[in-house]
Amino acid sequence: MNIISFSPAAIAQIKINIQANEFDAMALRIAATMTADETINYGMGFDEEKDDDVQFTDNGIQFLVSPDCLELLNGTHVDYVEIEKGQHHFIFLNPNDPNYKAPTEEDTPK
């Protein structure tokens, strides 16, 4: 079981980024930090593995998470959605976020 799950749209966009930037030999690092006001800041970027990283593979993509981010990211779902017309972004649905509200049926596109 992976620490983080990804929607098909997120996986597709990550693969596009890998091909466009020739990052085939690198893994995608996912990171999160909690700020003093309990906001979670997320980061993603291609990186080389460090000794204590946790690795997992999803749809042929290698991912890295540092041990200090594990608890905060465990159970997170990453999606790639259109926020405004023509503007797509990765979003993190994280049950560990104090401000997290699970999506309802009304939030799901028909």
Domain spans of the chain, in order of start: 4-98
Asked if CATH classification 2.60.300.12 holds for the domain at 4-98, the reply, yes or no, is: yes
pTM of the entire structure? Answer: 0.85
Taken in order 73, 31, 34, 107, the sign of the CA dihedral is: negative
- Please name the residues in contact with 27: beta carbons below 8 A apart, sequence gap of 6 or more: 46, 47, 48, 49, 55, 61, 62, 63, 64
pLDDT (tens digit per residue) in 7-54 = 999 999 999 989 888 877 789 999 999 999 988 999 999 998 899 999
Query: Can you read off the two tokens belonging to residue 14?
Result: 């990550």
pLDDT (tens digit per residue) in 47-91 = 988 999 999 999 999 999 999 999 999 999 999 999 889 899 999
